[in-house]
């Protein structure tokens, strides 16, 4: 429960190299439910989601489909919006990283960090994960990755952000604010990363290799690394630095800021993002909540896995599930079935079991008993609420 009178909740912005899946839906439904919950108790709420539209995978997907990158982004961004309309998601802001205002904010933060010496140029020689668009350590290299071309060796000049300079500061911040990363297992995971030697973060890609990105303000031959670009959305969507929106929802103790993410993007959000903010002189969010994965037979639910499994067993689109079971039952199933922070295996059989057990039986019986009591004691009319403090004790316990 937020202590302030305002509540700003965000989902990750979703990558537009393919269509939305159950994992995206879960995170966004969770954000929507939290937003509705806080509104019920009279708090001002802002709920933001959106799409991440730069990077190598987007450029490649556009080329494969015969579209320009922006045409591809327009198409897939709309698919996410359509999905959220179907699932009755009520967001306040849908941000796209191709918006000029976002690109301007990214450039301003980059320039600020460069001017104060936190970004420098150097030569990188090492391993690069093409699918994750990220430089990786020797320990993360696999023979399978090298054989498939997913992991390649590169040597090139790039720009780097001094993550290592702020390593000890972030450890101290997390230890002083134990609720900053939730659940505790994810907090410990980030602390484990921070207690190892930390390499500085490469925040650029040469245009000779990638053109679809935000140009570095201090070197026109480079574009911005997609993760640095994407993370800035949380403040660019509030028109950082001087807008009323930013001062109302972020730069104030009266607002509780919560980021919802999946555990697979914990490192950028729990490690890169706090240091980026601190170095830029921007207050940190109050909390980062990392949920588990939806799996099928133990495999993470993702666009790629969904395609692979489709040949083996029916994998139904979320739209089909909503058409068969209804919006509220699917929203209920996703939130009820997963224990926050843990992985959960998905099956359509469990949807039916959960809906019959919880809603038809348990809730149905409760409604039946309550209506009988109202009929017996109040002439079938719901009595007026006379106690203005009714529910406060329940709210505090929640």
* pLDDT reported for residue 128: 86
Check the CA dihedral 186-187-190-192 and report its sign.
negative
pLDDT of residue 1: 46
* Cβ-based neighbours of 33, under 8 Å, separated by 6 or more: 331, 335
- Is 279 exposed, middle or buried (CB count within 10 Å of its CB: 0-12, 13-18, 19+)? buried
| Residue 328: per-residue pLDDT | 95
8 Å CB contact between 73 and 58? yes
Q: What pLDDT is stored for residue 323 in this prediction?
A: 92
What separation in angstroms does the CA of 236 have from each of 109, 116, 348? Answer: 10, 21, 39
Which residue ranges form the domains of the chain, and what is each CATH number? 6-291 (3.40.50.620), 299-378 (no CATH)
Q: What does the alpha-carbon distance between residue 154 and residue 131 come to, in Å, rounded to a whole number?
A: 15
Instruction: Please name which of 194, 188, 180, 171 lies closest in space to residue 289, comparing C-alpha atoms.
Output: 180
**pLDDT tens-digit profile, the chain (398 residues):** 444 489 999 999 999 987 888 899 999 999 999 999 999 989 999 999 999 999 999 999 999 999 999 999 999 999 999 999 999 999 999 999 999 999 999 999 999 999 999 999 999 888 888 777 778 888 888 988 888 888 888 889 999 999 999 999 999 999 999 999 999 999 999 999 999 999 999 999 999 989 999 999 999 999 999 999 999 999 999 999 999 999 999 999 999 999 999 999 999 999 999 999 999 999 999 999 999 998 876 565 554 444 444 333 334 588 899 999 999 999 999 999 999 889 998 888 888 888 888 877 777 778 878 888 888 888 888 877 666 666 676 667 66
- pLDDT of the residue at 313: 35
Please choose, from the candidates 241, 228, 263, the residue with its C-alpha nearest in 3D space to the C-alpha of residue 344.
Answer: 263
| CB neighbours of residue 234 within 10 Å | 24
Residue pair 259/284 in contact by the 8 Å Cβ criterion: no
């Amino acid at each position: 429960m937020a202590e302030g009178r305002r509540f700003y909740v965000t989902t990750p912005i979703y990558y537009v190299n393919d269509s939305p899946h159950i994992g995206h839906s879960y995170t966004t439904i969770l954000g929507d439910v939290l937003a509705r919950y806080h509104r019920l108790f009279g708090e001002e709420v802002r709920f933001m989601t959106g799409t991440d539209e730069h990077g190598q995978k987007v450029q490649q997907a556009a080329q494969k489909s015969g579209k320009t990158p922006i045409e591809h982004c327009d198409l897939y961004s709309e698919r996410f919006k359509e999905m959220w309309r179907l699932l009755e998601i009520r967001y306040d802001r849908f941000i796209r990283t191709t918006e000029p205002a976002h690109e301007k904010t990214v450039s301003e933060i980059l320039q600020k960090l460069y001017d104060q010496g936190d970004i420098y140029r150097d030569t990188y020689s090492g391993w690069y994960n093409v699918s994750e668009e990220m430089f990786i350590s020797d320990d993360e290299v696999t023979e399978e990755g090298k054989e498939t071309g997913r992991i390649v060796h590169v040597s090139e000049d790039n720009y780097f952000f001094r993550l290592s300079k702020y390593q000890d500061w972030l450890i101290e911040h997390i230890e002083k604010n134990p609720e900053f990363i939730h659940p505790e297992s994810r907090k410990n995971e980030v602390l484990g990363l921070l207690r190892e030697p930390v390499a500085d973060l490469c925040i650029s890609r040469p245009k000779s290799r990638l053109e679809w990105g935000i140009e570095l303000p201090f070197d026109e031959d480079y574009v911005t690394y997609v993760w640095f670009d994407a993370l800035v959305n949380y403040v660019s969507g509030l028109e950082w630095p001087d807008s009323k929106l930013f001062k109302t929802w972020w730069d104030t103790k009266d607002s509780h800021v919560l980021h919802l993410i999946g555990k697979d993007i914990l490192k950028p959000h729990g490690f890169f993002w706090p240091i980026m903010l601190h170095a830029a002189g921007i207050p940190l969010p109050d909390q980062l909540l990392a949920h588990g994965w939806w799996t099928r037979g133990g495999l993470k639910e993702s666009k790629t896995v969904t395609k692979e499994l489709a040949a083996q067993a029916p994998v139904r689109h979320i739209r089909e599930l909503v058409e068969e079971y209804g919006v509220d039952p699917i929203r209920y199933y996703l939130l009820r079935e997963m224990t926050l922070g843990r992985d959960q295996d998905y099956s359509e059989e469990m949807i039916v079991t959960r809906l019959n057990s919880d809603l038809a039986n348990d809730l149905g019986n409760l409604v039946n008993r309550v209506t009988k009591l109202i009929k017996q004691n109040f002439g079938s009319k719901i009595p007026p609420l006379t106690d203005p403090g009714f529910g406060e004790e329940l709210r505090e316990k929640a």
